[in-house]
Amino acid sequence: MTTRPERHTADGQSEGHTTDARPTGRTADARPETHRACTGRTARTANAPAYAPAVTATPAATARRRTRRLASAPTPYLRLLTATQFAFNIGFYAVLPYLATHLGSGLGMAGWLVGLVLGLRTFSQQGLFVVGGALTDRYGPRPVVLAGCALRIAGFGWLAFAGTTATVIAAVLLIGFAAALFSPAVESEAAREAVRHERSTGSPRAHVLALFSAAGQAGAFLGPLLGSLLLLLGGGFRAACLAGALVFVAVLAGHARLMPHPERVRDVREAETETAATTRTAQPGRPALRAVFANRAFLLLCLAYSGYLVAYNQLYLSLPAEVRRATGSEAALGWLFALSSLLVVVVQVPLTRFSARRIAPRTALITGLAVVAAGFAAVPLTPAGPRGLLPAATFVVLLTLGQTLLVPAARGLVPDLVEDRQLGLATGALSSVSGIAVLGGSAATGALLDASAPVRWAVLAAVPLTGAVLAFTLPAGRGGKEPGARAVAG
């Protein structure tokens, strides 16, 4: 028997100290004569020394590599959260694209009232994300997600049969508040589990969050197809609402069975953060809301991310105007939206895997914002191609590519900037602050629709560029950081 020095594996555990007498490359330096006799049949480089290790991988090494690959695969809980995002968007987008038409043509609402209803839905969702995040931190994700699913089922069922302005507004508010509950819970859990997965396996957190984003986009792509199929089959808007409700019934049943209970989640988090208690800079008695919004680095991330969301909202404001100017109608909009969703599904995971292993999260955020800005600048510079849609298609492609870079990076930075116990609140605050910025930014950018094209698109390009400049002041972000090493500003 020979003894070799202890070495550590990727997860920090020590490997065995003792090897058996079988010849391997590791024993060559200790017993060269025996090694030469036993490994003479092994291929070596001609000029390699006698103690050079064998080129052919041993079965044990192959098994270790296979074990590491399996260990880096997403855990069952991460797969549950990813499937949740997929199902949420299928149910949601089976209804949302057809809501405005239903309110205007089906119920005879005036245009301003349709806009008000849609605005109330957005406000009740994005504006109240911070509430869902705070409840998640207080009670854990399970009850918040289950309550959100139940409210979404009730809201879709109510909307299917609502026939007056008051009942429609009530149903839409219920639907929006449901999302304000479960979305921060699921997104903060995905970020927290991505960090835990990164620490235990070395797999970059951005890769896990990219899978999460790609699943959401796949649901956003398939949801409208489900709604269209129901409309074509004669089911109408009511059938789409009931189908969306059934999707959330399935989500509710799955999470009631599979999602960990708050006690188990709390035990795991307390065990992980106990050793870091003395290094935290947040004051124990400080209110969570004040601690999050006094965090300068986190607020800068919110502002930079707001630049992206204001830009992304131009898919619904400036893009229709550009398509109408180029073609005389908005008939091609559906194809451009499908192109955006399909591009995210195809590109998100490989692009994020590439960026997560080669560049810091801050660099990915800045690069993504710059690519989004390039999409706006390209519109007046791109020659009108087939049927005049080439500038609009260029804008959609660049905006989507920038989105695939910056969204996982921004979400991956949040756990680096706030305390773990405030992660749900911070995740909700990121969306709420950005939603407020979009509300004000939409009014300002809407005023640009009457401006000349070069002026309009140049001003719009300046929005994500400003976000990129702000992102330069953020910490670079890093993977596999030690517990308690978060940068928390006072």
Instruction: Please state, in angstroms and as integers, the Cα–Cα distance from residue 204 to each residue in 59, 105, 192, 211, following that order.
Output: 28, 48, 13, 12
pLDDT at 58: 61
The span from the CA of 95 to the CA of 147, in Å, is 20
> Does pLDDT of 30 surpass 50?
no
User: Range with the lowest mean pLDDT among 14-18, 86-90, 210-214, 376-380?
Assistant: 14-18
> Does pLDDT of 11 surpass 90?
no
Mean pLDDT of 214-242: 83
SS3 of the chain: helix, strand, coil, percent, to 5:
75, 0, 25
> Does pLDDT of 188 surpass 50?
yes
pLDDT at 260: 79
Using pLDDT thresholds of 50, 70 and 90, give the confidence band for residue 57: low
pLDDT at 470: 93
Mean pLDDT of 241-262: 87
Using pLDDT thresholds of 50, 70 and 90, give the confidence band for residue 192: confident
pLDDT at 48: 43
* Per-residue pLDDT tens digits for 401-449: 999 899 888 888 888 888 877 777 887 888 788 777 776 776 677 777 7
> Does pLDDT of 23 surpass 70?
no
The span from the CA of 180 to the CA of 148, in Å, is 8
Six-digit token string for 338: 């499908």
Question: Are 465 and 369 within 8 A, CB to CB?
Answer: yes
* Per-residue pLDDT tens digits for 120-138: 777 777 778 888 888 888 8
The span from the CA of 88 to the CA of 121, in Å, is 16
> Does pLDDT of 266 surpass 80?
no
User: Range with the lowest mean pLDDT among 73-77, 240-244, 347-351, 404-408?
Assistant: 73-77
Q: CA nearest 489: which of 283, 205, 274? A: 283
The span from the CA of 148 to the CA of 138, in Å, is 15
pLDDT at 378: 92
Q: What's the mean per-residue pLDDT of the chain? A: 75
- DSSP conformation class of 40: T
* Per-residue pLDDT tens digits for 221-231: 888 788 878 87
Six-digit token string for 178: 């449901």
Instruction: Specify the 3-state DSSP secondary structure of 350.
Output: helix
- For 173-229, give the secondary structure using H, E and C: HHHHHHHHHHHHHHHHHHHHHHHHHHHHHCCCHHHHHHHHHHHHHHHHHHHHHHHHH
Provide the whole-model pTM.
0.62
> Does pLDDT of 301 surpass 90?
yes
> Residue 489: which residues within 8 A CB-CB, separation 6 or more?
294, 295, 296, 297, 298, 417
Q: CA nearest 305: which of 267, 389, 361? A: 361
pLDDT at 287: 67
pLDDT at 332: 78
More confident residue, 428 or 21: 428
Mean pLDDT of 141-159: 93
DSSP 2-39: EE----B-TTSPBPPSEE-SS--GGGTTT-HHHHHHHS
pLDDT at 63: 52
Instruction: Specify the 3-state DSSP secondary structure of 348.
Output: helix
Q: CA nearest 218: which of 62, 303, 343? A: 343
More confident residue, 5 or 329: 329
Please, what is the angle between helix 141-161 and helix 165-201, to 10°? 150
pLDDT at 174: 93
Question: Are 327 and 314 within 8 A, CB to CB?
Answer: no
More confident residue, 305 or 214: 305
In terms of average pLDDT, the best of 269-278, 287-296, 440-449 is: 287-296
Instruction: Specify the 3-state DSSP secondary structure of 57.
Output: coil
Q: Which amino acid appears at position 172 of this protein?
A: V
